[in-house]
Structure 1
């Protein structure tokens, strides 16, 4: 029974990620979604960094942030129906740290960070969101462990 619930949770998380990517993919240029060789199929989900972020349109950035929100919201809804799945993982901490933060603020914060730190364009966008917006609002880290400087997604 627990395996079925866990499988359902992973199914929902995977589905929401696919939906988020599906929303963003049509507006992304091939360079933003694929590695440098667009003729090769993707073998895994690429990590979005500031290099790609800075070339994305405002609508594409919004689609990315919406995708993140959908993953968190779906996990919260699944946990509300299956409380035994509740844990203080990444999504829970993301929800805690981004509670009440408008999507425009998330996008603006990431834009501002990369503009102010051009030498750090290789950092993942989720790492910037975590360090700039989420982590400062948390009392404890993932799995309720004490926060440390190395806390990053």
Structure 2
């Protein structure tokens, strides 16, 4: 059981790193935890995933310091998720997937961002400028993810 939780925590850390550093995620394919994985996992595994994500957010805040990159969303993640406890995050994600059973292929980090973090952020916390390079890499990564999903 401990090794399973540790494995999920490591997966959560890797996934959370992908959130914080899109260029690296695009260059190095990362596993994507979807609602299918989420709904099959235990409450402890779900919480371990979120602890891993929170650890990466905290780590990235520490590394970036007081002046994060202009296109960084790390402060938005931290501020947007700050109203939640880990149990509340698990419950919110559980309820979202239960209400949207047709969207179990949606990544958990997408639910975390669009349904939890981003709505709790003032516009000042969101990146004001996204470079064309970042937009191109995001489009390429999205296209690759779509191809992967189609192949399943």
The verdict on a shared fold, with TM-score over 0.5 as the criterion, is: yes
Q: Distance in 2 between matches of 1:105 and 1:132?
A: 13
Alpha-carbon shift at residue 133 of structure 1 (Å): 0.9
Pairing 1:143–2:138 present: no
Alpha-carbon shift at residue 85 of structure 1 (Å): 4.4
The one of 63, 69, 84 aligned to 2:54: 69
The one of 38, 41, 59 aligned to 2:44: 59
What is the match of residue 78 of structure 1?
63
What is the match of residue 128 of structure 1?
111
Q: Distance in 2 between matches of 1:62 and 1:100?
A: 16
Q: Which has the higher contact order (CA 8 A, sep 6+)?
A: 2
3-state DSSP class of the match of 1:93? helix
What is the match of residue 40 of structure 1?
none
TM-score normalized by the length of structure 1 = 0.61
Pick closer, same or farther for the CA change 1:88–1:133 going to 2, 3 Å.
same
Deviations 1:24-49 (A, max 9, x none): 438x9xxxxxxxxxxxxxx8321110
Q: Which runs of 5+ in 1 are unaligned?
A: 1-20, 29-42, 146-152
3-state DSSP class of the match of 2:122? coil
Structure with the larger helix share: 2
Q: Distance in 2 between matches of 1:84 and 1:102?
A: 26
The higher radius of gyration belongs to 1
Q: Which runs of 5+ in 2 are unaligned?
A: 12-27, 130-141, 143-152
Alpha-carbon shift at residue 142 of structure 1 (Å): 3.8
Q: Distance in 2 between matches of 1:124 and 1:62?
A: 16
